[in-house]
Amino acid sequence: MDFVCFGADGLPLRNPVSYRDPYTTHGIMERLFARMPKEEVYRRTGIQFMNFNSLFQMAAQHEAGDSAYHQADKILFVPDALIYMLTGQAVCERTILSTSQLMNPETGRIDGDLLRLVGLKEHQFGRLVMPGERVGELLPSVCRQTGMKPVPVIAVAGHDTASAVAAVPAVSPDFAYLSCGTWSLLGVECPQPVISQQSFDLNFTNEGGVFGTTRLLKNICGLWLLSRCQEEWSDAPHDVAQLIDEAMSSASCGTLLNPDDPIFANPSSMNDAIVAYCNRTHQQVPQGYAQTTRCIFESLANRYREVIDMLRGLSPVSISRLHVIGGGSLNKALMQLTAEATGLDVVAGPSECTAMGNILMQAFSQRLVDDIWHLRKIVANSVDLQYYKH
């Protein structure tokens, strides 16, 4: 979601702002919808509404009169900014653009009316490129600093989930994927975007994938809940495996949190937020770090079930199994709970899908990979996968 403002001299005007920093985005969605209705924004973009989407960050900076923003010669998303600093080539890679809530997925171009709302022009974003496209070579200045030769620089799927989904070790299209980490991103791979009243009501997103595919998915607040709780627990074991063992040995309190409730977005105390949520929803408060950890795992698994049920009603994809990738795929307890909650067999791994997808799209640019299924076969033959029965 984040971007860098560059001046006409090619240098950053200031450091980019993190999407978790609510500096001016509070209330910005409502103010923008007063200028273009929410339904119209979704019809044009097909993107899930979150107040830190690039569209709303830009609207906030435009509204606040941010000097770097208004003097920017180029606005480049973070992956594009890295390419620019390496090559001097200003590009706008499709997968990262698609998440910004600025791109029309039907045309693959930036929506001009949305740009006007945030005071920008299309030429500020650089030329549109697809994953696997060779952008240029390392600049002479970079070669001098690093001692490297002018090697080619490839535009990979710049959005990390797009790279990760590219490397899902599936053998056929009838799967859902779950990129499991701080965020949980649960969806299916579609040939075309799904933009309808139902997808709008359920707040699903249509993001660009490799080889022209669309990732129909929902963002779920994932293991962020646990990591924030761990920061506060002084008596909990530091070893994650031991914490998980203790959690699964504890009795379930039966409480189910909605991980996507705004109360869990970035509270000063995640433990206090869990207590407040339980009190508000008239559920038992989990006691101690072990029971709280188990409650978080059970709540995530239940949320995955809910979203898969939504996907079955939304997408043309038949879902017969769930591929889980990312660091969370190593959590055996969460994987088994997910299989039981969703009623799907779970294939877990690899944990480093993003890096694999990145590397293999570079291999595709060198004609070492034929297509998405060749790419996925390479991944499947390169790692040990774990299987969980429902």
Q: In 167-249, where does DSSP find H-type helix?
A: 197-201, 224-232, 240-249
Q: Which of 160, 345, 370, 384 is catalytic?
A: 160
Residue 252 near residue 221, CB atoms below 8 Å: no
Cis, bond preceding 259 (omega within 30 deg of 0): no
Task: Please name which of 249, 348, 324, 335 lies closest in space to residue 298, comparing C-alpha atoms.
Answer: 335
Is 261 a known active-site residue? Answer: no
Cα–Cα distances (Å) from 327 to 27, 241, 256, 334, 377, in that order, read: 33, 13, 23, 12, 21
CA distance 304 to 301: 5
Structure tokens at 260: 């996507």
Residue 219 main-chain phi, psi, to 5 deg: -80, 130
What pairs with residue 324 in β-bridges? 178, 348
Q: What is the DSSP string of 94-159?
A: HHHHHTTT-EETTTTEE-HHHHHHTT--GGGG-EEE-TTEEEEE--HHHHHHH-----EEEE---S
The torsion angle over the Cα atoms of residues 275, 276, 282 and 287, rounded to 10 degrees, is: 0
The torsion angle over the Cα atoms of residues 296, 297, 303 and 307, rounded to 10 degrees, is: 140
CA distance 55 to 194: 20
Residue 378 near residue 172, CB atoms below 8 Å: no
Residues recognised as catalytic: 160
